[in-house]
């Protein structure tokens, strides 16, 4: 259905597990050279092995996206190994919970550092190559939490995820003349290792508030990222796509009860 993007190079951050792993495997499955980034090299190498075992091309690099001394290396490594950066999925993120009355400035800064500063540094690292090529696709992983919804304990996280969209809207204008698009996926609750860390009760209760009755899968998000990265999405920039099984739709608990009764 889509023009092949086989042979293109895709950098995926936060790809040692969870949504990033799903995106990396999906891009590997369509023939991209995938650079798998996370802080831990072991986790990234495991995903590389999975991609290679399925016949794909991938390699790993250990980089902390929030560190300006480390982030430029992702572009250097991609160019050294593959000669190009065509697609960037800025996905790395953390979501530790902390209620406002107890939240420390350090906790706030850590979430902003990984999620928002990390997004900025990741994008900035890849721009020279994309601009020189006068083409590129950037996909951010935001969230419904922040831009649309709230959840106690995640004020800092919500701010970082909403911040990514503010960042994107100006960046997309700046990059449009270079034919570089920037769009964001906004996942609902997706079954990942990070979500599992919140405990089984969280996942079970959350399923009950999703009209489709299940958590999302990493493949659900990866497919949306693949669309934004496709040739066919060339004229879409600065936009968002919610992938949440309808989670943000019910206007109240009553709407869900009514749905379940019918």
Between 14 and 136, whose beta carbon lies closer to ligand NAP? Answer: 14
Between 28 and 187, whose beta carbon lies closer to ligand NAP? Answer: 187
| Cα angle for residues 203, 209, 214 (degrees, 5° grid) | 55
For the beta carbon of residue 146, count every other beta carbon within 10 angstroms: 23
| Least Cβ distance, residue 253 to ligand NAP (angstroms) | 21
φ, ψ of residue 238 to 5 degrees: the values are 75, 20
Between 51 and 92, whose beta carbon lies closer to ligand NAP? Answer: 92
Active-site pick, 82, 157, 202, 235:
157
| Least Cβ distance, residue 221 to ligand NAP (angstroms) | 8
| Token code pair at residue 163 | 């911040």
Strands 9-13 and 87-90: parallel
| Least Cβ distance, residue 69 to ligand NAP (angstroms) | 13
Between 56 and 163, whose beta carbon lies closer to ligand NAP? Answer: 163
Q: Which residues are at the interface with ligand NAP (CB under 6 A)?
A: 13-20, 37-40, 43, 64-66, 91-95, 114, 118, 141, 143, 187, 189-190, 192-195
Is 82 marked active-site?
no
- Please, how many CA atoms are within 13 Å of residue 2, restricted to the half-sphere of its CB? 14
Please provide the size of the chain in residues.
262
The Cα 55–Cα 220 span in angstroms is 22
Among 208, 187, 202, smallest CA distance to 152 is for 202
| Least Cβ distance, residue 180 to ligand NAP (angstroms) | 21
| Token code pair at residue 9 | 């190079």
Active site residues: 157
């Amino acid at each position: 259905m889509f023009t092949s993007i086989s042979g293109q190079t895709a950098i995926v951050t936060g790809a040692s597990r969870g949504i990033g792993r799903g995106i990396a495997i999906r891009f590997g499955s369509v023939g991209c050279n995938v650079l798998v980034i996370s802080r831990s090299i072991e986790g990234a190498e495991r995903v590389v092995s999975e991609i290679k075992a399925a016949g794909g091309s991938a390699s790993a690099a250990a980089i902390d996206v929030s560190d300006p001394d480390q982030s430029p290396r992702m572009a250097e490594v991609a160019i050294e190994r593959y000669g190009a950066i065509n697609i960037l999925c800025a996905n790395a993120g953390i979501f530790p919970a902390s209620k406002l009355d107890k939240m420390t400035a350090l906790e706030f800064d850590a979430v902003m550092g990984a999620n928002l500063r990390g997004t900025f540094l990741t994008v900035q690292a890849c721009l020279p190559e994309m601009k020189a090529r006068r083409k590129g696709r950037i996909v951010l992983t935001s969230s419904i939490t922040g831009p649309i919804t709230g959840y106690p304990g995640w004020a800092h996280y919500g701010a970082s995820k909403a911040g990514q969209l503010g960042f994107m809207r100006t960046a997309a204008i700046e990059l449009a003349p270079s034919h570089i698009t920037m769009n964001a996926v906004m996942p609902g609750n997706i079954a990942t290792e990070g979500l599992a860390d919140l405990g089984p009760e969280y996942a079970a209760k959350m399923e009950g508030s999703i009209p489709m009755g299940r958590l999302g899968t990493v493949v659900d998000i990866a497919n949306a990222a693949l669309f934004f990265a496709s040739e066919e999405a060339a004229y879409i920039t600065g936009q968002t796509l919610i992938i949440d099984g309808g989670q943000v739709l019910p206007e109240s608990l009553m709407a869900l009860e009514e749905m379940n009764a019918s």
